[in-house]
Amino acid sequence: MGIVERETRDLEEAKQYGVSSFAKELLNVNDSLGLAIINTDLESSEPKEQLEILIEGINMTNTNAQDALSHQNIATFQPNIGDHFDHNEHNVVKKVEEKSDKPSVTVTRVVKPGYKRKNKVLRLADVEVLAKVTPPKPKPVAPKQPKEDKAKDGEAKESESKENGEKEIDDVNGEKVEQSSSSSSSSDSEVEPQSKESDSKTQ
Label each residue of the chain as H, E or C: CCHHHHHHHHHHHHHHHHHHHHHHHHHHHHHHHHHHHHCCCCCCCCHHHHHHHHHHHHHHHHHHHHHHHHHCCEEEECCCCCCECCCCCEEEEEEEEECCCCCCCEEEEEEECEEEECCEEEECEEEEEEEECCCCCCCCCCCCCCHHHHHHHHHHHHHHHHHHHHHHHHHHHHHHHHHHHHHHHHHHHHHHHHHHHHHHHHC
Return d(Cα 75, Cα 89) in angstroms, integer.
Answer: 13
Residue 162 has pLDDT above 80, yes or no: no
Other CB atoms within a 10 A radius of the CB of residue 107 amount to 22
Which residues, in sequence order, are CB contacts of 65 under 8 Å at separation 6+? Answer: 29
Strand order in the sheet with 90-98: 90-98, 125-132, 107-112
The stretch 175-179 carries a mean pLDDT of 49
pLDDT digits (tens, 9 = 90+) for 181-190: 444 444 444 4
Contacts 24+ apart (CB under 8 A), 161-166: none
User: Higher pLDDT residue, 69 or 1?
Assistant: 69
Among the listed residues 108, 84, 98, 95, the one whose alpha carbon sits nearest the alpha carbon of residue 134: 98
Type of residue numbered 195: S
Across all residues in the chain, what is the average pLDDT?
74
Return d(Cα 30, Cα 17) in angstroms, integer.
Answer: 20
Type of residue numbered 170: D
User: Cα separations (Å) of 107 from 80, 100, 101, 115, 145?
Assistant: 7, 13, 14, 18, 50
The predicted structure's pLDDT at residue 40:
84
Residue 136 has pLDDT above 80, yes or no: no
The predicted structure's pLDDT at residue 196:
46
